[in-house]
Chains A and B, each alone.
Chain A
């Protein structure tokens, strides 16, 4: 029984749950939900900023028409964002899983390797990416060939691929691998958190499972497909969602930068709002399709 009359202990706990959530709920409604809705409203207006305030004029679907039918830049930029995602996404998932398996083995220097692989999360996020990419542009603009991104390692890998090409493997796969290798830096840098998530998952698999199956005579290959893969499959889902969100909302994403320029540098607020809402809907569709296709294939232990 609660101290106050008429309130059960259960209700009291529910109330406490609400109370703990209050700061976030306030923030969510005032500084997230309202802005999201306002941005939708602005998408249907021309927005003029003047010293006396903001002036809105309703223009219906004009912004969206302009965006999808007239603007020569928006759709190509959007397509290139999606292509980047399509190339990087499988590479990041496979790469981070592979590296996590490597880092899960026992060897000398393991701690140091983990520290280095996680370093990009600390120093290559946000502003730093922006500075580096602007420097790269400066370099290519003046055509001074500083070996900025294509390191010796990448060239070596390209060379090895050239050798493999002489052997018969499906050219589609090889083209993809070549593309992924050329983006090795971006992929490595974007994999930090995914590696950690996989690593934690691998460490969470009980060794007894492997012992038992090895006693029954299973090979390492069978162990992987029958134990490791099902146990890790929920994390593949978590990592996939994380990768999609990270790649679509990142600083180097061209669509994001374009929306940013349109709104805060050019000052075309209504148009930028229409852009950002279109983009948001596309991310939402991509995520939904992905979740729909994969969620049923994921194995949950409990």
Chain B
């Protein structure tokens, strides 16, 4: 009698355990498989960045080149003048990202904490800037900055010639400082959600102590929002780094990566007197891609918690 009970319990218990373990195994396989799908293209790029032409045409070589070479990296490094371009790109992206954080955070704070009639409309305007496809505004913006003057902004460059700012960092700096650069509507939305959930007492206490609105914002709100701002700063930095349309249209020839990185293999091949259709171009592309994303990966490995916790912190959910 007793053993029969025990057997039954044992069986039930082990069935339960079996189910749990098989779920764990399934979950592991699934996550590992998907993680592999995400990482695999990078692995392939790394592999082909070390290949020579002989490895490329060798069908037996898949991930590990038989004659690994630094040639691709050396040529790309030289063509990019990597160290100086890296320094310029970091400085440029950091400047733009900082300006975007400041301008977005100002308007987000304004519409989150002050009650005035247009605040909903301003939020709608911020969202409109991300809904309208970028191509719709890019061409007139190009003309505005090509013939830049207070009047030609409205006249498509027809009346006055103005100053040509295309190719200088100024257009993106202006757009960043006014909160209409790449994906800034999203940042405004995130920051607004964050500010909205702060306790009211913060400002009340400050106001009783005779602290003005702007002073309250700078001295009390901003230090408390430092992590949230850091998160937005990182997003802005990465988006600016990866930006293609604004950079190639408004700032062609600027000493940043994204102006030259697309089809870089072809450009290098041309400087070497090799013409179109050479597979070497593809190997250059891979090496350039690795050099391009390496700083981002290093940045991400130190700051991943800001990205991963960003949405929770912003309280989009709440």
Contacts and interface: CB of A to CB of B under 8 A. Distances in A.
Interface in A115-142: 115-123, 125-128, 130-132, 134-135, 138-139, 142
SS class of chain A's interface: helix, strand, loop or mixed? Answer: helix
B292 interface: yes
Contact of A123 (B42, B116, B131): B42
Contact of B110 (A19, A34, A203): A19
A117 B46 CA distance: 20
A131 B286 CA distance: 9
Nearest to B203: A13
22 contacts: A13-B114, A17-B110, A17-B116, A23-B177, A24-B103, A27-B103, A27-B178, A31-B174, A36-B140, A53-B147, A56-B158, A99-B34, A126-B244, A131-B262, A138-B282, A146-B48, A148-B44, A189-B38, A193-B311, A259-B135, A263-B138, A264-B249
A24 B188 contact: yes
A294 to B, nearest CB: 16
10 residue pairs, one from A and one from B, having the closest CB atoms: A27-B178, A20-B110, A126-B242, A17-B114, A35-B140, A14-B116, A24-B107, A38-B140, A27-B180, A35-B137
B31 A23 contact: no
A34 B153 contact: yes
B220 interface: no
A21 B135 contact: no
Nearest to B312: A200
Interface in B128-168: 128-144, 147, 153-154, 156-158, 161
A283 interface: yes
Contact of A39 (B56, B140, B304, B312): B140
Interface of A: 10, 13-21, 23-28, 30-32, 34-36, 38-39, 42, 53-54, 56, 99, 102, 105, 107, 109, 113-123, 125-128, 130-132, 134-135, 138-139, 142, 144, 146-149, 151, 153-154, 184-185, 188-189, 193, 196-197, 199-201, 203-204, 235, 238, 245, 248-249, 251, 256, 259-260, 263-264, 269, 272-273, 275-277, 279-280, 283-284, 287
Interface stretch (B8-16, B80-88, B117-125): B117-125
Contact of B135 (A125, A204, A256): A256
A102 B317 contact: no
B111 A122 contact: no
A260 B135 contact: yes
Contact of A21 (B111, B140, B153): B111
B106 interface: yes
Contacts of B107: 20-21, 23-25
B219 interface: no
A135 B56 CA distance: 14
A102 B30 contact: yes
B300 to A, nearest CB: 5
Contact of B304 (A118, A199, A283): A118
B307 A122 contact: yes
A41 to B, nearest CB: 8
A48 to B, nearest CB: 12
B318 interface: yes
Contacts of B316: 197, 200, 238
A256 B135 CA distance: 7
A134 B244 contact: no
B311 A116 contact: no
Nearest to A37: B140
Nearest to A262: B135
